[in-house]
Amino acid sequence: MNNDNYATWLEIDLNAITANYNRLKEISGVPVMGVVKANAYGHGLEETALHLQHIGAQWLGVARIEEALQLRESGIQTAILVLGYTSPKRVKDAQKANIHLTIYDPLVAHMYEKEVDADLGKLHLHAKIDTGMGRLGVPAEHAPAFIEDLSRVRMFNLEGVFTHFACADEPEKPVTLEQISKFEAVLSKLKEKGIDPGLVHAANSAGTLNFPQAHYHMVRCGIATYGLTPTASMTLPEGFVPSLAWKTRLISIKSMPQGHGISYGHRYHTREGERIGAIAVGYGDGMRRVMGNHVLLRGKKVPMVGSVCMDQCMLNLDAVPDAQVGDEVVLIGSQNGSSLSATDLAEEWNTINYEVICGMAARMPRRYIRSH
């Protein structure tokens, strides 16, 4: 792949996404919703979703209706569930574009009922139950009555019921088993009432890997689809491959005099003759403005020095005397047998790999690698 045109760019390996997606299908034995919210975890919403559709995904998950509408505009026909809040004002848009919405609040359900346009067919809904996440969802104890009310609305198609796990990446905690048992109590109540919950789903990536009893009719996987572990303490089973690499170039090399300040705020000062490199990446691309970042250059782990700027950062080139302007620099990915993962970067930034990849800026070109 010729990337000479670019100063900084992402390489998205669609073959890795295929491998990861197929592993998740094998492990769960049920359909896998490809979660593509937040620009497909930085990978590029449309290309990633088109690829998932191409490899057979029957469901895609987004957070906002704007993401779902963008997917429809780009020709995606797969079923799409908006996992987060949708304003009642967008109900007709959802009906027109055949987008499935999440419902968890009786007041919002009532507003949806008022907004539904009978000429556009039924509004497809998945009821979300809070079994312990403490975020969105009707509390489990109120869920049977709430779902029964929804099932009575003529213009609603109650198509599914789901919950979300708070601690599935920490299987040693009792929380997930408690959530599963609350969820199943709601399902039993619905059965007693003769209400068909439709598609039952609960597991995110960590739930899929750690709690086989929670696979139900479908699993919803984001991070593992992209070949990353849900938490630094978990390792993925064999066959998962990270799908995103982040690269840039060395764009300047200078030998500095003793005590020269580097970058905004002069938070670093050079030794006599110290070689300082600049690379074409900054916080405008998603790099974090923290000290202590590293990159790969000629296969060596090289430290950044001075403050991260919007479009550039500086390196100390002691470890790479042969470095030349134009060299490829790796922020996430592999080079000459060394590698830096999004999870490594997350550790340097004191955060999680999800935040690292979701923060990849829109301005960066995304180069898609696919088999021919």
Ligand X SMILES: Cc1ncc(COP(=O)(O)O)c(C=O)c1O
Point out which span in 147-155, 171-179, 219-227, 275-283 binds ligand X (CB under 6 A): 219-227
Q: 285 with 363: CB under 8 angstroms?
A: yes
Binding-site string for ligand X from residue 158 to residue 177, where x marks contact by CB under 6 A and - marks none: ------x-------------
Which uninterrupted H or E stretch holds 287?
A: none
Closest to ligand X by CB, 59 vs 268, is 59
User: Cα separation of 276 and 340, whole Å?
Assistant: 21
Least Å distance, CB 365 to ligand X, is 24
**CB count, 10 Å around CB of 159?**
19
Cα–Cα distances in angstroms (integers) from residue 289 to residues 38, 153, 228, 278, in the given order: 21, 51, 23, 15
Least Å distance, CB 267 to ligand X, is 35
Binders of ligand X among residues 90 to 129 (CB under 6 A) are none
* 220 counts as binding ligand X under rule CB under 6 A: yes
Which residue from 154, 98, 108, 111 is spatially nearest to 128, judged by alpha carbons? Answer: 108
Residue from the set 129, 218, 223, 332 that interacts with ligand X by CB under 6 A: 223
DSSP state of 225: G
Point out which span in 70-78, 171-179, 198-206, 237-245 binds ligand X (CB under 6 A): 198-206
Q: Tell which phi-psi region holds residue 56, choosing left (phi > 0), alpha (psi between -120 and 50) or beta.
A: left
Least Å distance, CB 230 to ligand X, is 5
Closest to ligand X by CB, 203 vs 314, is 203
Binding-site string for ligand X from residue 25 to residue 44, where x marks contact by CB under 6 A and - marks none: ----------x---------
Point out which span in 87-95, 116-124, 222-230, 300-308 binds ligand X (CB under 6 A): 222-230
Pick the catalytic residue: 89, 191, 193, 264? 264
Closest to ligand X by CB, 35 vs 186, is 35
* 52 counts as binding ligand X under rule CB under 6 A: no
DSSP state of 132: S
Least Å distance, CB 221 to ligand X, is 5
Which residue from 5, 94, 13, 2 is spatially nearest to 48, judged by alpha carbons? Answer: 13
Q: Number of residues in contact with ligand X, rule: CB under 6 A?
A: 12
Closest to ligand X by CB, 124 vs 249, is 124
Closest to ligand X by CB, 35 vs 123, is 35
Binders of ligand X among residues 265 to 284 (CB under 6 A) are none
Residue from the set 132, 144, 222, 282 that interacts with ligand X by CB under 6 A: 222
Pick the catalytic residue: 21, 25, 37, 189? 37
Cα–Cα distances in angstroms (integers) from residue 340 to residues 106, 161, 308, 324, 332, in the given order: 47, 39, 19, 21, 5
CA angle 224, 337, 274 (to 5 degrees): 115
Residue from the set 39, 205, 263, 353 that interacts with ligand X by CB under 6 A: 205
Point out which span in 71-79, 103-111, 223-231, 299-307 binds ligand X (CB under 6 A): 223-231
Least Å distance, CB 128 to ligand X, is 8
User: Cα separation of 319 and 181, whole Å?
Assistant: 55
* 83 counts as binding ligand X under rule CB under 6 A: yes
User: Cα separation of 148 and 194, whole Å?
Assistant: 9
Residue from the set 221, 279, 281, 320 that interacts with ligand X by CB under 6 A: 221
- Is 37 considered catalytic here? yes
H-type alpha helices, 226-341: none
Q: Residues 360, 365, 371, 372: what is their CA dihedral angle, to the nearest 10 degrees?
A: 160
**CB count, 10 Å around CB of 338?**
14
Which residue from 251, 238, 230 is spatially nearest to 352, judged by alpha carbons? Answer: 230
Question: By Cβ distance, which residue is nearest to ligand X?
Answer: 222
Residues with Cβ within 8 Å of 56's Cβ and at least 6 positions away in sequence, in order, are none
Point out which span in 49-57, 86-94, 201-209, 364-372 binds ligand X (CB under 6 A): 201-209
List of residues contacting ligand X (CB under 6 A): 35, 83, 164, 204-206, 220-224, 230
Residues forming the active site: 37, 264
